[in-house]
Amino acid sequence: MARTVEVTELALRDAHQSLLATRMALEDMVPACEDIDQAGYWSVECWGGATYDACIRFLNEDPWERLRTFRALMPNTRLQMLLRGQNLLGYRHYEDSVVDRFVDKAAENGMDVFRVFDALNDIRNLRRALEAVKRTGKHAEGTICYTISPLHTVDTFVEMAKRLQDLGCHSICIKDMAALLRPQPAFEIVKGIKQTCGEETLVHVHVHSTTGVTLVSLMKAIEAGADLVDTSISSLSLGPGHNPTEALVEMLEGTGFETRLDKSRLLKIKDHFARIRPRYAEFESKFVGVETEIFDSQIPGGMISNMESQLKQQGAGDRVKEVLAEVPKVRQVAGYPPLVTPSSQIVGTQAVFNVLMGPYKVLTGEFADLMLGYYGETIGPRDPEVTRLAAEHNKKPPITDRPADHLTPEWDDLVAKAAALDGCNGSDEDVLTYAMFPQVAPKFFAKRSEGPKNLGKDPVTAAAAAAAANPAVKAIDSRGPVT
């Protein structure tokens, strides 16, 4: 009898984050929800930092209302979110009580599966969030950020999996945000986890398709025993996105593995998003092909485009290659962090500064914090001289304990500050929105009553407008962050 491989659909979160700069409106997802709910997915990923941010920044949507809508429309399928450990959906560490509150509220509003990751793979930054999830009775998925460096080996990833298991995770995710996971390591890591943590340990594999090889990696991961894999419906797939769900189903035919997915439902979901996608043409990533150069630079595509736009703003658009060569050096100095939000932005920006101003002549506050341990521990040692410069720059000493232990209780303060904002409804949900996006939340609260703003445009209208503005219709580079 064939072994069942379970599938997580990414169309509602990571797919449009990777392909359409996270701009898809809830309104354009709603018509697909019944088919998604009935298709036989294990879970549907539908919430995360970038979608939350885009909701309040661009779409005038309450992200909690989006979550409740998904819950109502998909009663038969697990809802899944991506959580940045102690960073929640924001860019700094939060004190533990805020972490607890966020997880409670997400669970209460309908979230089932919490994929919890830390950009540095520092287990201490995952622990509190995982514990909170377990306390709510929901599914706690501990995550390993996959990366390539001289220090990262199959063994180091398997060891991390063991530590996540020891924390009581319900499943272990291998998260390959940059499409660097080749078939052979995919096989070996999954095999290693199964051997070390037990065959019954649920292993979940998340890969992007940027390098063109990762559907093969999914096949090898499945052969090694992976239980759950992430894909996106074909009309929102490939490029910097993910492998197509339908291709996964077909790939397994006759192999002794099978999904539970209903192909006729998949076709409807595909057709829906094929109709919707052209409405977001102006947000399309311009990296739609296959980028194997990433294997050499180890720099995710989204990070390259961020660095390019920073360079252009400085009138140094021609220095991209120097910056690409600088990134691995900065990574070494910083102890080889994986490159994922927020470490990708921090390392990338410092590499730009090093090229423009000379190595470590100017530090960013965030990079200095990274060097000083305020984001957590890295796999390798950090450069002592640059650490010294960082301490000088940020006027504080390096730390070796858990960053969040340096924070004081902040919930009451956040409640008070949020309550003072025009349009804040005083709910814990609103306080959390303010806590995570203090710059954006005030404007969102003030304008929330105007209701959602769909940025999609009818393709004919959009093309006419673009043609009027500029005869050379060009793709706009506006990718979401890399997760």
Footprint on this chain of its own copies (rule: CB under 8 A): 182-185, 211-213, 215-216, 219, 234-235, 237-238, 243-244, 246-247, 249-251, 253-255, 263, 267, 274, 289-293, 295-296, 459-460, 463-464, 467-468, 471-473
How crowded is residue 268: how many other Cβ atoms within 10 Å of its Cβ?
17
Among Co ion, its own copies, none, what does residue 243 contact (CB within 5–8 Å per kind)? its own copies
Q: Specify whether the CB–CB gap between 218 and 182 falls below 8 A.
A: no
Among its own copies, Co ion, none, what does residue 31 contact (CB within 5–8 Å per kind)? none
Nearer to its own copies by Cβ, of 389 and 463: the residue is 463
Among Co ion, its own copies, none, what does residue 14 contact (CB within 5–8 Å per kind)? Co ion
Work out how close the CB of 331 gets to its own copies at its nearest, in angstroms, rounded to a whole number.
Answer: 20
Contacts to Co ion by CB under 5 A: 14, 177
Work out how close the CB of 62 gets to Co ion at its nearest, in angstroms, rounded to a whole number.
Answer: 24
How crowded is residue 375: how many other Cβ atoms within 10 Å of its Cβ?
26
Work out how close the CB of 460 gets to its own copies at its nearest, in angstroms, rounded to a whole number.
Answer: 4
Nearer to its own copies by Cβ, of 148 and 334: the residue is 148
DSSP letter assigned to residue 421: S
Residue keyed to tokens 């005869």: 471
Q: Where are the alpha helices (DSSP H) in 372-458?
A: 384-394, 411-419, 428-436, 441-447
Nearer to Co ion by Cβ, of 188 and 230: the residue is 230
Q: How far apart are the first and last CA of the chain?
A: 36
| Residue 254: exposure state from Cβ atoms within 10 A (0-12, 13-18, ≥19) | exposed
Q: What is the rounded distance in angstroms from the CA atom of residue 377 to the CA atom of residue 371? A: 9
Nearer to Co ion by Cβ, of 99 and 177: the residue is 177
Work out how close the CB of 230 gets to its own copies at its nearest, in angstroms, rounded to a whole number.
Answer: 15
Nearer to its own copies by Cβ, of 248 and 372: the residue is 248
Omega prior to 185 cis, within 30 of 0: no
Nearer to its own copies by Cβ, of 216 and 399: the residue is 216
Specify the amino acid at residue 69.
T
Nearer to its own copies by Cβ, of 267 and 407: the residue is 267
Work out how close the CB of 313 gets to its own copies at its nearest, in angstroms, rounded to a whole number.
Answer: 24
R_g of the chain computed on alpha carbons? 22
How crowded is residue 464: how many other Cβ atoms within 10 Å of its Cβ?
11
Among its own copies, Co ion, none, what does residue 141 contact (CB within 5–8 Å per kind)? none
DSSP letter assigned to residue 295: H
Q: Specify whether the CB–CB gap between 259 and 227 falls below 8 A.
A: no
Nearer to Co ion by Cβ, of 132 and 177: the residue is 177
Among Co ion, its own copies, none, what does residue 213 contact (CB within 5–8 Å per kind)? its own copies
Work out how close the CB of 15 gets to Co ion at its nearest, in angstroms, rounded to a whole number.
Answer: 9
Residue 236, C-beta contacts closer than 8 angstroms, at least 6 positions apart:
11, 15, 16, 19, 273, 277
Among Co ion, its own copies, none, what does residue 244 contact (CB within 5–8 Å per kind)? its own copies
Work out how close the CB of 14 gets to Co ion at its nearest, in angstroms, rounded to a whole number.
Answer: 4
Nearest to 461 by CA among 449, 451, 472, 469: 469
Q: Mind spelling out the 3-state secondary structure of 169-214?
A: CCEEEEEECCCCCCHHHHHHHHHHHHHHHCCCCEEEEEECCCCCCH
Work out how close the CB of 284 gets to its own copies at its nearest, in angstroms, rounded to a whole number.
Answer: 12
